Amino acid sequence: MSHSSKIDHCLADTLAKDGTANVVISFNQDTQKVLDRLNKMAFPSRKEMSTFMKSELEKLAVKTQKNVLELLRGRSGVHFESKWANNQVFVKNAESELIQRIAQVHEVSNIREEAT
């Protein structure tokens, strides 16, 4: 997949018009495998199942979001939030150049404009 194909066309239009956008970054490994595995397991209680699910989803986010988060932390003035529950990162007022760099990260599947 080319880097530019990871960037949603509506986001590209917004960037061409405004120069920045609030974006959602999704990753190649989504949460479905964790949830599928969870559904095949038995747990003594709902609490233990919830604790296990949270732990596994957090591990997935740490692993898959690592390179994007390092890139974002290396930028001053960039406001972002990592979400482990859906394995996505939300970035406020991301500039086109930053989005292009994020699109080069192997683990990223797509970048789209955040719904308002």
Its pTM stands at: 0.91
Give the Cα-Cα-Cα angle 12, 91, 106 (nearest 5 degrees): 70
Cβ atoms 94, 57 nearer than 8 A: no
Average confidence score pLDDT of the chain: 94
DSSP assigned state of 114 = P
| pLDDT tens track for 86-109 | 999 999 999 999 999 999 999 999
Hey, what are 37's tokens? 């595995």
DSSP assigned state of 28 = S
How large is the average pLDDT for residues 74-79?
90
Domain that holds residue 79: 4-113
Phi, psi of 16 (to 5 degrees): -65, -35
| pLDDT tens track for 7-32 | 999 999 999 999 999 999 999 998 99
Q: What is the pLDDT at residue 96? A: 95
Single-letter amino acid code for the residue at 93:
N
Q: Domain count for the chain, please give it.
A: 1
